Amino acid sequence: MYYRGISHALYAICRDEGISGLYKGLGGTLLGVGPSIAISLSVYETLRSHWQLQGPHDSAVFVSWACGSLFSMASSTVIFPIRSSEAANAVARGSWRGLCSQLGPVWNV
């Protein structure tokens, strides 16, 4: 085991890589947050509006649950390649040559 706890991990990362080491992978994460939120909100609102037109007497709790489940699946499907590139970067430290170099193998570009 490389780290003995959170404080040791923070100390070791700052010692070995500097403060910037704590932020490795942040670019990919932030790149995924915006599209994820946009997809989630648009799918949720579209589904909820359509559902309310088709079944106006359905339970609001059930509609929210169903639409929430579907928007989560849609968002995860679109964002998965970005998350995969983050994982590849974390596993193979030192091979990071930018986001495009990581997305290419994921999408077979």
Instruction: Look at residue 77 and tell me if it is in a domain.
Output: yes
12 is a domain residue: no
The pLDDT-based confidence of 65 (bands split at 50, 70, 90) is confident
List the domain range (segments joined by +) for residue 85.
26-107
Q: What is the pLDDT of residue 100?
A: 64
Tally of structural domains, the chain: 1
Q: Is residue 2 part of a domain?
A: no
C-alpha distances in angstroms, 59 versus 1, 74, 98?
Answer: 50, 23, 47
Give the pLDDT confidence of 15-49 residue by residue, as tens digits.
Answer: 999 998 888 878 777 776 777 788 888 888 888 88
80-101 residue pLDDT tens: 776 777 666 666 665 555 556 6
Residue 20 lies in a domain: no
In a domain, 81, yes or no: yes
Written as six digits, the tokens of 45 are 């609102």
Check residue 95 and give its pLDDT: 54
Asked if residue 17 is part of any domain, the answer here is: no
How far apart CA 101 and CA 85 sit, in angstroms, is 9
**Does any domain span residue 56?**
yes
Task: Give the count of alpha carbons within 13 A of 32, CB side only.
Answer: 19
pLDDT at 98: 59
Q: What is the pLDDT of residue 109?
A: 45
